[in-house]
Structure 1
Amino acid sequence: MDIFSLTPEEFVETVGTGTIVHNSGDLFGDHLRAVQNVLRDWNLGKDLELAGLFHSIYGTEGFQDFQLSLDRREDVKRLIGERAEFCAYCNCVMDRATLDATLSAPAGEHKIKARPDVGGHEIALTDEQLQDLITVHLADWLEQVEREAAKVNERHGWLKEGDAWGYRRSAYKQMADFLGGPAQEAYKAVFAREPQSTRHISQIYTPKLQAPITPKIYIQ
């Protein structure tokens, strides 16, 4: 199959995202399209919409039940463009603690690190690239947090219903405040629906994932 004859949406479906259940409980492919739609609603342009569609295509620190091989990066760049692919790549490989740390760095000095399992290398970000990354990263969480909070997820340390609301709470608020505009308004709308009973919960780290519950799809 000539993948370049496919639309990005068709490519995502073709590689099998519709056969894997995402952390949020939806099919992985449905979650990818939903994040794309969040970004479309924020009216931030096609590049960020495509970054949203591919935001976890290589697997992430919090979801590794599906991974398109990083050897396919050039194919993905040709399909969605360098800006969108770089944003998705960073969202996939980063150690999220390093993203949270760089939010407070001075302009022009932003950097994240890849997780050890994907090289552990440092990735310098321009101010614009940081804005792209936190926009997509925040959209991803806002799209799913309510579903995540409705259930237990022991792999993420959420041992009772509602625990997910506290996941990296201060970092997500900092991202929303940094971005302002539609992203901040969406953040306020989602977190206004959080029950009072969980608003004290704060989980500042991402637990190391154990073996996936569902079989991993690793696509070369």
Structure 2
Amino acid sequence: MRTLGAAEIEHPGGTLLEHLQRVNRLLKAWGARSELQLAGLCHAFYGTDGFATSLLPLESRGEVVEIIGAGAEELVYFYASCDRKTSYRTLAGEGGTFRDRFTGHSFSPGPHQRRDFAELTAANELDLAAIDPAFRTAWGDGLLGLLTRLRPLLSDEAWEHTRKVLT
């Protein structure tokens, strides 16, 4: 991460590297499996719909697989590829549509993939809300609405953290 410049990129609460480390620690505290924890640490590799800065181009996916494994890289790509405007509205429900912002392809992810996405989303956004009062003021109500819709997909630990940070 340091060699990719994450320690020099400004991000709410410090640097992007600090944010990635906090997301990783949150997922670990919530009891997430190791692949999801690792995806939390690496979730900004390809940028996101909410944070366009990327550490690596999509063409580096094969190299990322070699470093963090196929399962964790798949989660990183899935998270980064989310077209939030389209996907957030329906993702909580069975058959909800997910739109890949890189390819434009839409599909209905399975329950396991939706749960991982929800948990990573919660960890990412709750870190920002906890560390940055301005972020919480500007986005807290909308974030609480999103995570409430995603509640069926969240672990009890993630939901308790949501309530602690946003209510």
State whether TM-score is above 0.5. Answer: yes
* Residues 1:100 and 2:112 aligned together: no
Q: From 86, 93, 98, give the equivalent of 2:74.
A: 86
Structure 1 counterpart of 2:124, one-letter code: D
Q: Which residue of structure 2 lines up, in the alignment, with residue 19 of structure 1? A: 8
Deviation at 1:110, TM superposition (A): 4.0
Partners in 2 of 1:14 and 1:133 — Cα distance?
27
Q: Secondary structure at the match of 2:150?
A: helix
* Residues 1:44 and 2:19 aligned together: no
Deviation at 1:105, TM superposition (A): 2.9
Native 8 Å contact 1:148 1:164 kept in 2: no
Native 8 Å contact 2:7 2:16 kept in 1: yes
Deviation at 1:143, TM superposition (A): 0.8
State the superposition RMSD in angstroms: 1.9
Deviation at 1:167, TM superposition (A): 3.4
Equivalenced residue count is: 167
Higher relative contact order (CA 8 A, sep 6+): 1
Give the structure with the higher percent helix: 2
Deviation at 1:124, TM superposition (A): 4.1
Structure 2 counterpart of 1:21, one-letter code: E
Scaled by the length of structure 2, the TM-score of the pair is 0.89
Q: From 122, 126, 134, give the equivalent of 1:150.
A: 134
Partners in 2 of 1:112 and 1:182 — Cα distance?
25
Q: Secondary structure at the match of 2:117?
A: helix
Native 8 Å contact 1:52 1:136 kept in 2: yes
* Aligned sequence identity (%): 28
Cα displacement string for residues 21-76 of structure 1 (whole angstroms, at most 9, x for unaligned residues): 01x14100111111000001111221111010011211111112334100011111
* 4+ runs deviating over 3 angstroms: 146-149
Q: Which residue of structure 2 lines up, in the alignment, with residue 120 of structure 1? A: 104
Structure 2 counterpart of 1:16, one-letter code: G
